């Protein structure tokens, strides 16, 4: 199986709002796939639907050949899916160490991974004992990514890792994602088109809760018209970065 994850036409509601009206995405093993689209296109909801945080009412989510839609979120996560939510949802009242420790699925996970994690984000070693709310925005984002690396995850869902970061930190974050993608498959949501185009191999464009376009990133970069049609604002934002 070279597809680690297949999403087939999922429909997700939040309250009575029909947010996803048929999203289909395939994530190929050992590559970075990015979901693009305007604000409110349904990218974050798609990630949450995979994890079962907002369970889809229709459609299937197939992970490693098994249907996982309708299972509980913790159950899905334990299959080896790591989640880095948007807005750096770290636990601010826990120390950096506890933020990592809580992600352990079995004893010793953290010891085994700490060298790898500190290699990616050297800052965290220095901040190890500090509470999360003492960290800067960039440091919190790094901690959020690091937290998803503690357990033995086969697939990482990363939501807007560059959001609100200074350009130099974006560079560092890109480098980290590139390194970790050597051992893990990544499904990325990213507004920053420059970052997305440098990292990802495959792309999907979402619009109004539907998948409207897909292909190889190398082809999309050439297709200025398509970029303009669906990602107008996103491109400008990326252009600045």
Partner 1 sequence: MRQGFFRRNATMLVVLGLIAVLGVIGWTTMGQQPFVRTTLSGLTIGALYFMVASGLTLIFGLMDVLNFAHGTMFMLGAYLGWQFYTNPTFLFGLFPLIFALLAGLVTSPILRSTFMSLKVSEKSQKSIQTVVALAGIALIVLAVRGLDILGLAKTAMVATMNMGNPLAEASAQEPLAIFWFRPVLMFIAGLLLATASARPGDRTQVVYASDKRQAWIISSSLLVLTVIATLLRESAPNAVLMWNGNLRFFAALAVGALCGAGLSAAVEVSLIRPLYVRPLYQVIVTLGLAYVLREIIQVLWDPLAYQMTRPPMFSQPGKAENILAWFSGQNLTVDVLGVTFPSYRLFIIVLGILMVIGLGVLMNYTRLGMIIRAGVQDRTMVEALGINVRKVFTIVFMLGAGLAALGGIGAAPFIPVQPNMGDAFQLQAFIVVVIGGMGSYSGAAIGALLLGLARAFGDYLALKFSLSPAIAEASTVIIMAIVLLVRPAGLFGKKE
Alpha-carbon distance of 169 to 238, in angstroms, equals 15
Contact status: 105 vs partner 1 (CB under 8 A): yes
Q: Does 94 bind partner 1 (CB under 8 A)?
A: yes
Q: Does 91 bind partner 1 (CB under 8 A)?
A: yes
The residue (of 27 and 103) whose beta carbon lies closer to partner 1 is 103
Q: Nearest distance from residue 115's CB to partner 1, in Å?
A: 21
92 is a contact residue toward partner 1 (CB under 8 A): yes
Range in contact with partner 1 (rule: CB under 8 A) among 71-79, 113-121, 179-187, 201-209: 71-79
Query: Is 147 near partner 1 (CB under 8 A)?
Result: yes
CA dist., res. 116 & res. 59, Å (int): 37
Per-residue contact track with partner 1, 190 to 219, x per CB under 8 A? ------------------------------
100 scored as a contact of partner 1 (CB under 8 A): no
From the list 26, 53, 110, 194, which residue makes contact with partner 1 (rule: CB under 8 A)? 53
185 vs 197, beta carbon nearer partner 1: 185
Closer residue to partner 1, CB minimum distance, 131 or 164: 131
Tokens of 2: 């070279």
Closer Cβ to partner 1, 76 or 234, answer by number: 76
Q: Which of 28, 29, 38, 101 binds partner 1 (CB under 8 A)?
A: 101
Q: Are 55 and 69 in contact (CB under 8 A)?
A: yes
Nearer to partner 1 among residue 4 and residue 51 (C-beta)? 51
3-state secondary structure the chain: CCEEEEEEEEEEEECCEEEEEEEEEEEECCCEEEEECCCCCCHHHHHHHHHCCCCCCEEEEEECCEECCCCCHHHHHCCCEEEECHHHCCCCCCEHHHHHHCCCCCCCHHHHHHHHHHHHCHHHHHCCCCEHHHCCHHHHHHHHHHHHHHCCCCEEEEECCCCCCCHHHHHHHHHHHHHHCCCCEEEEECCCHHHHHHHCCEEEEEECCEEEEEEEHHHHHHCHHHHHHHHHHHHHHHHHC
In DSSP terms, which residues pair with 131 in a beta bridge?
Answer: 95
Nearer residue to partner 1 within complex by CB, 26 or 94? 94
Closest CB 191 distance from partner 1, rounded Å: 21
| Chain contacts with partner 1 (rule: CB under 8 A) | 51, 53, 55, 70-75, 77-78, 83, 85, 89, 91-94, 98, 101-103, 105, 129-131, 147, 151
């Amino acid at each position: 199986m070279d597809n680690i994850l297949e999403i087939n036409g999922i429909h997700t509601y939040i309250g009575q709002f029909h947010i996803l009206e048929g999203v289909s995405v395939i994530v190929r093993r050992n590559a970075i796939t990015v979901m693009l689209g305007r604000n409110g296109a349904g990218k974050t909801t798609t990630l949450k639907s995979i994890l079962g945080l907002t369970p889809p009412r229709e459609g299937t989510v197939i992970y490693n050949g098994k249907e996982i839609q309708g299972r509980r979120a913790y159950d899905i996560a334990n299959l080896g899916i790591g989640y880095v939510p948007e807005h750096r949802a770290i636990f601010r009242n826990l120390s950096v160490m506890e933020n990592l420790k809580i992600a352990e699925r079995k004893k010793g996970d953290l010891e085994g991974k700490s060298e790898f994690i500190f290699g990616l984000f050297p800052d965290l070693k220095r901040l190890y004992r500090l509470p999360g709310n003492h960290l800067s925005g960039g440091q919190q984002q790094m901690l959020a990514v690091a937290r998803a690396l503690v357990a033995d995850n086969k697939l990482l869902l990363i939501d807007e890792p560059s959001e609100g970061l200074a350009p130099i930190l974006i560079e560092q974050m890109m480098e980290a994602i590139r390194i970790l993608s050597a051992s893990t498959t990544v499904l990325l949501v990213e507004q920053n088109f420059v970052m997305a185009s440098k990292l990802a191999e495959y792309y999907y464009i979402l619009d109004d809760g539907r998948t409207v376009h897909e292909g190889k990133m190398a082809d999309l970069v050439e297709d200025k018209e398509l970029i303009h049609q669906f990602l107008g604002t996103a491109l400008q934002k990326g252009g600045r970065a």
